[in-house]
Amino acid sequence: MKVLVCISNVPDTTSKITFSNGDTEFNTTGIQFIVNPYDEIALSKAIELSEGGKGTITVINVGEASTEPTIRKALATGADKAVRVNAHPRDAWFVANQIANYAKHEDFDLILLGRESIDYNGTQVAGLVGELLNIPSVSIAKKISIEDNKATIEREIEGGKEIISVPLPIAIGTAEGVAEPRIPNMRGIMSARTKPLEVIDAIEVPQLAKVIKYETPAPRGAVTLIDAAEAEKLVDLLHTKARVI
Amino acid sequence: MSVLVFVENISGNFKKSAYEVVSYAKTIAKSVNKELVAISIGDVSEENLLNLGKYGANKILTVNADNLKSFVNQAYASIIAQAAKQEDAKIIVLSNSFSGKGLAPRIAAKLEAGLADGVVELPKIDGESFEVKKTAFSGKAFAITALRSDIKVLALNANSFEIREDAVEAAIVNFEGSPSQEDFGAVVKDIVRATDKISLPEAEIVVSGGRGLKGPENWGIIEDLAKALGAATACSKPVSDAGWRPHAEHVGQTGIAVSPNLYIAIGISGAIQHLAGVSSSKVIVVINKDPEAPFFKVADYGIIGDAFDIVPKLTAAINAHKDS
Using one digit for the tens of pLDDT, what is the confidence trace for A147-179? 999 999 999 998 899 999 999 999 999 999 999
Give me the residues paired with residue A8 across strands. Answer: none
For testing contact with chain A, the best of B134, B254, B292 (most A CBs within 10 A): B254
CB-CB neighbors (< 8 A) of B306 in chain A: 228
Chain A with chain B: Cβ pairs closer than 8 A: 282
B80: Cα within 13 Å, side-chain hemisphere: 36
Residue A203 pLDDT level (bands cut at 50, 70, 90): very high
Residue B196: pLDDT over 90: no
Q: How far apart are CA B209 and CA B242, in angstroms?
A: 13
Residue B194: pLDDT over 90: no
Residue B157: pLDDT over 80: yes
Q: How far apart are CA A131 and CA B90, in angstroms?
A: 20
Q: What is the pLDDT of residue B123?
A: 98
Residue B278 pLDDT level (bands cut at 50, 70, 90): very high
- Average pLDDT, whole number, for chain B? 96
Q: What is the pLDDT of residues B63-72, one digit of tens each?
A: 999 999 999 9
Query: How many beta carbons lie within 10 A of that of residue B112, not counting itself?
Result: 12
Closest C-alpha among B188, B182, B178 to residue B74: B182
A102: Cα within 13 Å, side-chain hemisphere: 25
Q: How far apart are CA B58 and CA B60, in angstroms?
A: 7
Coil/strand/helix, residue B242: coil
Nearest by CB: B248 against A92, A156, A213: A156
B124 and chain A in contact, CB less than 8 A: no
User: Average pLDDT in the A182-204 region?
Assistant: 96
Contact A225, B304 (CB under 8 A): yes
Closest C-alpha among A118, A92, A244 to residue B276: A118
User: Average pLDDT in the A24-46 region?
Assistant: 97
| Portion of chain B with pLDDT greater than 70, in percent | 100
CB pair distance less than 8 Å for B187 and A165: yes
CB-CB neighbors (< 8 A) of B149 in chain A: 208-209
Q: What is the pLDDT of residues B249-258, one digit of tens each?
A: 999 999 999 9
Q: How far apart are CA B250 and CA B237, in angstroms?
A: 6
Quick one: B194 exposed, middle or buried, by C-beta within 10 A (0-12, 13-18, 19+)? Answer: exposed
Give me the residues paired with residue B279 across strands. Answer: none
CA A69 from centre of chain = 17
Residue B226 pLDDT level (bands cut at 50, 70, 90): very high
Element (H, E) at B107: helix B98-111
CB-CB neighbors (< 8 A) of A31 in chain B: none
CB pair distance less than 8 Å for B253 and A209: no
| Portion of chain B with pLDDT greater than 90, in percent | 96
Query: How many beta carbons lie within 10 A of that of residue A201, not counting itself?
Result: 8
CB-CB neighbors (< 8 A) of A11 in chain B: 137
Give me the residues paired with residue A209 across strands. Answer: B147
Residue A115: pLDDT over 90: yes
Buried b (16+ CB within 10 A) or exposed e, A66-95: ebbebbbbbbbbbbbebbbbebebebbbbb
Q: Rg for chain A (alpha carbons), in Å?
A: 21
Q: What is the pLDDT of residues A121-148, one digit of tens each?
A: 999 999 999 999 999 999 999 999 999 9
Residue B229: pLDDT over 80: yes
Q: How far apart are CA A1 and CA A47, in angstroms?
A: 11
CB pair distance less than 8 Å for B141 and A217: yes
**Backbone phi, then psi, for B37, in 5-degree steps?**
-110, 130
CA B197 from centre of chain = 15
User: Average pLDDT in the A67-76 region?
Assistant: 98
First to last CA, chain A: 53
Q: What is the pLDDT of residue A152?
A: 98
Q: What is the pLDDT of residues B110-123, one digit of tens each?
A: 999 999 999 999 99
Closest C-alpha among A168, A165, A64 to residue A112: A168
Query: How many beta carbons lie within 10 A of that of residue A185, not counting itself?
Result: 12
Q: How far apart are CA A94 and CA A98, in angstroms?
A: 6
CB-CB neighbors (< 8 A) of B314 in chain A: 231, 234-235
Q: How far apart are CA B152 and CA B165, in angstroms?
A: 25
Contact A49, A27 (CB under 8 A): no
Q: How far apart are CA B207 and CA B222, in angstroms?
A: 7
Q: How far apart are CA B298 and CA B114, in angstroms?
A: 34
User: Average pLDDT in the B167-178 region?
Assistant: 95
User: What residues of chain B, 18 to 77, have a C-beta less than 8 Å from chain A?
Assistant: 70-71, 73-74, 77
User: Running DSSP on this structure, what letter comes out for residue A64?
Assistant: -
**Backbone phi, then psi, for A114, in 5-degree steps?**
-65, 150
Buried b (16+ CB within 10 A) or exposed e, B178-188: ebeeebebbee
Residue B319 pLDDT level (bands cut at 50, 70, 90): very high
**Chain A closest-CA separation from residue B73 CA (Å):** 8
Query: How many beta carbons lie within 10 A of that of residue B158, not counting itself?
Result: 24
Q: Which residues contact A28 (CB under 8 A, 6 or more apart)?
A: A11
DSSP string over A114-178: ESS-TTT----HHHHHHHHHT--EEEEEEEEEEETTEEEEEEEETTEEEEEEEESSEEEEE-TTS
Residue B195: pLDDT over 80: no
Q: What is the pLDDT of residue B324?
A: 83
Q: What is the pLDDT of residue A245?
A: 94
CA A30 from centre of chain = 22
Q: How far apart are CA A184 and CA A77, in angstroms?
A: 4
CA B247 from centre of chain = 18
Give me the residues paired with residue B94 across strands. Answer: B155
Three-point CA angle B59, B64, B70, nearest 5°: 120
Contact B7, B163 (CB under 8 A): no
User: Average pLDDT in the B137-153 region?
Assistant: 96
Contact B97, B71 (CB under 8 A): no
Q: What is the pLDDT of residue B93?
A: 98
Q: How far apart are CA B310 and CA B303, in angstroms?
A: 8
